[in-house]
Amino acid sequence: MRKGIKEAADETVLTPRFYTTDFDEMEELFSLEKNPTLEMDEFDAMLSEFRTDYNQTHFVRNETFKKAADNITGPARKIFIEFLERSCTAEFSGFLLYKELGRRLKKTNPVVAEIFTLMSRDEARHAGFLNKAMSDFNLALDLGFLTKNRKYTFFRPQYIFYATYLSEKIGYWRYISIYRHLQRNPDNQLYPLFEYFENWCQDENRHGDFFSAILKSQPQFLDGWTSKLWSRFFCLSVYVTMYLNDHQRSAFYESLGLNTTQFNRHVIIETNKTTARIFPEVPDCETPEFWDHMEKLIVLNRKLIAIGQSDAPAVLKNLQRLPVLERFAAELMQLFIGKTVAAGADGVESSAPIPCY
């Protein structure tokens, strides 16, 4: 590999994923010819919002970036580079998916297609900004290499809608919480990238809104018990993944002056409230039982990591993992069958009623 090009981190269950989907089914869902009654008002409103391009002139670097990077040394430097890499990879994977969807839907639904294309513009801008940040650390991600060689996860359109909505909204809450914290504690800001997070967040938030509009245009994905099960499943998958990931990397959040657990709980609680504005059902994240299970998962995850890093033979490691994995699965099941909150968007027939505004 060329000098200065960073080899992508090994893929694990928790690594940012690249997605592909059933593009023919996507065309079926959004084709105006096949769905003449598809409600387009909210898509037109979203298109207007994305065409406005609030951030066209905003992701511009200045000379303070390199100086700040040079001041990040030792373990903090390694941790920060990892943060940049994971974030860049995640933005880039969004870019690829949205770009392809924009291309594939162009003839059958030009409005929805253009929205996907404009979202891919935003993600490309974010990925580019992050990759330039990595150059301050004398590194760059080979995005071309990633495109060709990364393993792609197949997700049906319905799952793309749930997963991507959550990914964008939780991205909003993560970045805006970091931004708000650093605005009030400027001494903790390691690197000027975070000054751009407010604008960045609004892009993520709007992307999530578009997936709200998509779900509302496909009420079959918001109605019935299977929709509630999938809603619960995807919420919990995203929350658990983030909680475990971040606690594995708590040094990063502590380096910004954040308490990792407090940060994560806030992000999950608020993401969940936002998600209750569209999903038919969400987990109740504000019960002590919910957080007890989450904490147990952290302990179990640490055991799994320790087993993986030990010098024991592979066969013995697998045996050691079995009881921990069994406990892990049991905790996940407890979360899945835990308390939920009836939810949903205003005006959607299957939603929990909103009696008063």
Partner 1 sequence: MLVAGKQLSKWYALVANAEFMLHDVQNEAFAEQLRERVRLFGEKERKQDFFLVCEPTWLDKQFPQEAKRVGRPCVALVSTDKIWITFMKLRLDRVMKLDLGELTPEQALDAGAPYPEFPPLDRTKWTAPYSPYKPGWWNAFEPAVFFNNCQ
Q: Is 278 in the site for partner 1 (CB under 8 A)?
A: yes
Stretch that binds partner 1, among 24-32, 211-219, 299-307, 328-336 (CB under 8 A): 211-219
Cβ atoms 341, 281 nearer than 8 A: yes
Stretch that binds partner 1, among 64-72, 156-164, 201-209, 289-297 (CB under 8 A): 201-209
Q: How far apart are CB 154 and partner 1 at their closest, in Å? A: 29
Q: Is 12 exposed, middle or buried (0-12, 13-18, 19+ CB in 10 A)?
A: exposed
Stretch that binds partner 1, among 154-162, 255-263, 298-306, 314-322 (CB under 8 A): 255-263
Query: Rounded distance, CA 296 to CA 327, Å?
Result: 9
Q: Which residues from 284-323 bind partner 1, rule CB under 8 A?
A: none
Question: Is residue 255 classed as helix, strand or coil in its secondary structure?
Answer: helix
**One of 20, 28, 34, 52 touching partner 1 (CB under 8 A):** 52
Stretch that binds partner 1, among 101-109, 115-123, 259-267, 333-341 (CB under 8 A): 259-267
Q: Which residues from 159-198 bind partner 1, rule CB under 8 A?
A: 172, 176-177, 180-181, 183-184, 198
Backbone angles phi, psi at 6, to 5 degrees: -85, 130
Q: How far apart are CB 221 and partner 1 at their closest, in Å? A: 16
**Token code pair at residue 196:** 């751009």
Distances in Å between the Cα of 325 and the Cα atoms of 38, 130, 276, 297, 311 are 45, 35, 31, 10, 19
**One of 270, 279, 283, 335 touching partner 1 (CB under 8 A):** 270
Stretch that binds partner 1, among 12-20, 69-77, 244-252, 257-265 (CB under 8 A): 257-265
Cβ atoms 184, 48 nearer than 8 A: no
Q: How far apart are CB 14 and partner 1 at their closest, in Å? A: 23
**One of 81, 130, 163, 201 touching partner 1 (CB under 8 A):** 201
**Token code pair at residue 292:** 């007890």
Stretch that binds partner 1, among 208-216, 234-242, 288-296, 331-339 (CB under 8 A): 208-216
Q: How far apart are CB 62 and partner 1 at their closest, in Å? A: 18
Cβ atoms 327, 300 nearer than 8 A: yes
**Token code pair at residue 248:** 């594995």
Cβ atoms 340, 232 nearer than 8 A: yes
Question: Is residue 19 classed as helix, strand or coil in its secondary structure?
Answer: strand
Nearest 5°: CA angle at 346, between 158 and 228? 40
Query: Rounded distance, CA 38 to CA 207, Å?
Result: 20
**One of 59, 263, 290, 328 touching partner 1 (CB under 8 A):** 263
Backbone angles phi, psi at 238, to 5 degrees: -70, -45
- Nearer CB in complex with partner 1: 3/184: 184
**One of 8, 46, 130, 294 touching partner 1 (CB under 8 A):** 46
Nearest 5°: CA angle at 154, between 153 and 157? 130
Q: How far apart are CB 23 and partner 1 at their closest, in Å? A: 25
**One of 85, 209, 246, 331 touching partner 1 (CB under 8 A):** 209
Query: Rounded distance, CA 12 to CA 17, Å?
Result: 9
**One of 17, 66, 99, 273 touching partner 1 (CB under 8 A):** 273
226: Cα separation from own chain's centroid: 23
Q: Is 349 in the site for partner 1 (CB under 8 A)?
A: no
Give the number of other Cβ atoms within 10 Å of residue 181's Cβ: 18
**One of 119, 258, 297, 335 touching partner 1 (CB under 8 A):** 258
Residues lying near partner 1 in the complex (CB under 8 A) are found at: 41-42, 44-46, 48-49, 52, 54, 57, 172, 176-177, 180-181, 183-184, 198-199, 201-202, 205, 209, 212-213, 216, 258-259, 262-263, 265-266, 269-270, 273-274, 277-278, 345-346, 354-357
